Amino acid sequence: MTSVADQQTPAQAAAGRVADDDGTTTAAPVTFGKALTAALSDAMDSDEGVVVFGEDVGPLGGVFRITDGLTDRFGEQRCFDTPLAEAGIMGMAVGMAMNGMRPVVEMQFDAFAYPAFEQVVSHVAKMHNRTKGKVKLPIVIRIPYAGGIGGVEHHCDSSESYYVHTPGLTVLAPATVADAYTMLRDAIDSDDPVVFLEPKKMYWSKDAVDLKALETARRDPEVASGIGKAVVAREGTDATLIAYGPSVPTALAAADVAASEGRSLQVVDVRSLVPFDDETVAAAVRTTGRAVVIAEAPGFASVASEIVARVQERCFHSLAAPVRRVVGFDTPFPAPKLEHYYLPSVDRILDAVDDLQWED
């Protein structure tokens, strides 16, 4: 089983903390959004082939200001606005990647990406296989996704199932400030196309990390990429909560409440939806014998469904109860005042844990 501590070298373990004169360690708080900005800036600085484009990502800096300052620093040839034409944005990225560039495109909101879906499925995901490995498409598709911001329909979809079902795509869903930086850097470095899911409600979350130290650690050849690696975000002995993206903080909050009630819950942050880390997830479930999968997306034919199936297949003889799910309902995303009923909550998670056939 891979824990956060297990997968880090000493250099990476120190990342995010800077020693003061008195020997103590501190770091300035960094938001999830600014970590993404820094990752884009560092990637563009290290490789002139990296270009960033999409709707309003230029001088405005994007709806969520993730690309703020990139046009001023790198010029309009490398960070620029496009027309409101997602299929065209994606098609242009394919052409650029085929000619040696590394385009990073932003789909302004999750559901806005649907007009580009044909390009993603028919070309981005298949070009490498279609050309017998001769043509690579190192494209990163940044998608602000999921709810929790009081947005309306077409602004809060969790569309990950469409992408994970498509062979040829890497799909990442970071949930921490440190992962926002390192996994976006890893995604841009990858020669494979990556769908990079950014939980909108977490753009303003903060953590004390040293981004320069993270970059130094990331370049250590002994440090494995976050692609394809889940981590145990919290140790526990009674049941395992499996989550990704915006559901990870909710799972951790549920574990805090459970601890106050005398129950120890382990939390696994999946991080990488494709490739999926079966080894870490299954090992975590085997240590507790009970599991709950948490995600915002509707449950039918979902990533949560796939995780349940994989856990059930690999951990059947270790399970004390069927694997439960806490997910969004099988309805379109509701109006802002109703989204708190729709999204996974601490109470819903703890209710599912209570349903795991505990002995009296």
Write out residues in the chain with pLDDT < 70, as ranges. 1-26, 360
The answer for 331, left when phi > 0, alpha when psi is -120 to 50, beta otherwise, is beta
What is the per-residue pLDDT for 43?
97
How far is the C-alpha of 284 from the C-alpha of 239, rounded, in Å?
A: 9
What is the per-residue pLDDT for 17?
47
How far is the C-alpha of 265 from the C-alpha of 206, rounded, in Å?
A: 24
Give the type of residue at 167.
Answer: P
In terms of pTM, does the model score above 0.75? yes
Instruction: Please state the CATH superfamily assignment of the domain spanning residues 25-218 in this structure.
Output: Thiamin diphosphate (ThDP)-binding fold, Pyr/PP domains (3.40.50.970)
Phi, psi at residue 52, to the nearest 5°? -120, 130
**Paired tokens of 324:** 């439960």
Same fold, 25-218 and 231-354: yes
Reported as a single tens digit per residue, the pLDDT across 256-277 is 999 999 999 999 999 999 999 9
Among 200, 250, 228, smallest CA distance to 36 is for: 200
Bridge-based pairing state of the strands 140-145 and 25-26:
unpaired
CB-count burial class (<10 Å; 0-12, 13-18, 19+) for 196 = buried
How far is the C-alpha of 354 from the C-alpha of 94, rounded, in Å?
A: 48
How far is the C-alpha of 78 from the C-alpha of 7, rounded, in Å?
A: 34
What is the per-residue pLDDT for 49?
97
CB-count burial class (<10 Å; 0-12, 13-18, 19+) for 262 = exposed
What is the per-residue pLDDT for 250?
97
Q: In the chain, where are the structural domains located?
A: 25-218, 231-354
Class of 231-354 per CATH?
Answer: alpha beta
Among 67, 273, 34, smallest CA distance to 158 is for: 273
Reported as a single tens digit per residue, the pLDDT across 15-62 is 444 444 555 556 889 999 999 999 999 999 999 999 999 999 999 999
Residue ranges of alpha helices (H) inside 70-159 are: 70-74, 86-98, 117-119, 127-130
Active-site residue set: 155
**Paired tokens of 108:** 């302004």
How far is the C-alpha of 268 from the C-alpha of 308, rounded, in Å?
A: 14
What is the per-residue pLDDT for 16?
46
What is the per-residue pLDDT for 151?
87
What is the per-residue pLDDT for 9?
36
